[in-house]
Chains A and B, each alone.
Chain A
Amino acid sequence: MSLETLWLALLGLLLAGYFVLGGYDYGAQMLHPFLGHREGHIEGRRPGPQAERADRNAALDAMAPFFLGNEVWLVAFTGVLFGAFPHLEGSLLSGLYPLIVAILVGLVLGNAAIQLRGRAQGVRARRYWDALIVFGGALPAVCWGLVLGLLLHGVPRRPDGSFHIGLGGVLTPFVMACGVTTLLLFAAHGAAFVALRSGPDVALKARQLGALLLRAAAAAAGLALLLTLFGAGASMTNRAASAVVVALFAAALAGAWWSLARGHRVRAFVATCCATALPVLLVGAGHHPYVLISSAGTGLTVDHAVTDHATLKILSAFGVLVVPMILAYQAWSWWAFRGPTGRRHPSYF
């Protein structure tokens, strides 16, 4: 396997990792008002600063220890995009300008709200932060879906390789369907995560909500698939590979729904993890060797997008050391905070 392919795989891994980890954050953010306050924690508290913290929320507690470690997958994705694929980075980010700005605004507000909500004084301030948390989950979720839709469909590249996406490019049925699918999928994924980490009452509620959301996500994804079959959707370069990934995606959705309905929380979460990661594989494998298409079979290839070979070799020397370390300490943090949330967990966010 060539170095270029390895770095493309790493780029895909980082983006998929971000979709899986950031995805449940956004899902939990969107659902946190519905998954309610943890019961039995308001009375009988010690006086003092603890008494002010009658603001616990099961969904936010579930993701809290992992939150800071999740968002950096996106940062690493951007870093690798710039370092290894500078010619893709420049045209992709500036071409998708309005969508990227919307994602960033959502992320900034949502992330700040999650971390500062616990510092709020009084009910009104907390409501304001709560609203921002929902907004900061929903906006990036929709916009990432729109970005996926555009990447699957192809973008109008000019001869110099640049492009610009306006409202007209986004407001097509296929791209909108992708946006809605991702929104619902991330929400369902968040529900599966909350179900996995919370006490029985919250978990039951999260399972019911998750199953409902999965059905809706499947319907939206089905619409996108239908549009594609009728020629108004994705234009895939590798049809066979795409069909396999889509079949796996459908199986993951069905498996997640079945497991949630039957109460297999671990299985359900594994399935929603697969479902959130597979769209990245669809873009990557479905278009290979193109990384950015204008239509099926034309566009920017990996070889044109990649950095100079000398730079890539230096990056690889670091990557061989650093990537396994990243995976190791991330796994360590997941292990250290495993188990359901509860009283013996320090609460901070």
Chain B
Amino acid sequence: MLAADLLVAQNIGFGIIALLMIVGALRVVTVNNVVHAALWLVVVLSGAAAQYLLLSAEFVAITQVLVYVGAVMVLFLFGTMLTRARIGAENDLNNKNWKIAIPVSLLMLGVMSWVIVDGFQDEKLIENPGEMSQVPIQLISDDIFGPYLLPFWALSFVLLVAVIGAIVLARKD
């Protein structure tokens, strides 16, 4: 019974991608080269995009690629390469506080798992995947610019403040 429920293509795909993401996440903090760590982070973030695709949330998946792989990671690499990216191993990459990070991330894992399990209970996202394979983008935009307009504006202002702050910091005069 367990096997029949679990051995569908989506679950196998999920397992492979999740394994890749876990390995990638561990390598991000264990490799001793800044650029290699950044590239493992690319693997993790692309894995997240692939998981969104499995959930047939293609809009979120593409946003993930556009924002994280295409912009954030490029800026990460750009910054490190301009300043301190050496080829080969480096020894002084570990932060002193790395031991505190372990309980914090375990706590995060616990809280987020509990939220997800508690939030969805036995509910399935799509009962019959054949019927509705994708959420139309028009619906998403109607939601953003309808009931969720205020949060959208608030987020835009936060970003605007960040942009202005960056300009203020960067200008010498």
A-B interaction: no
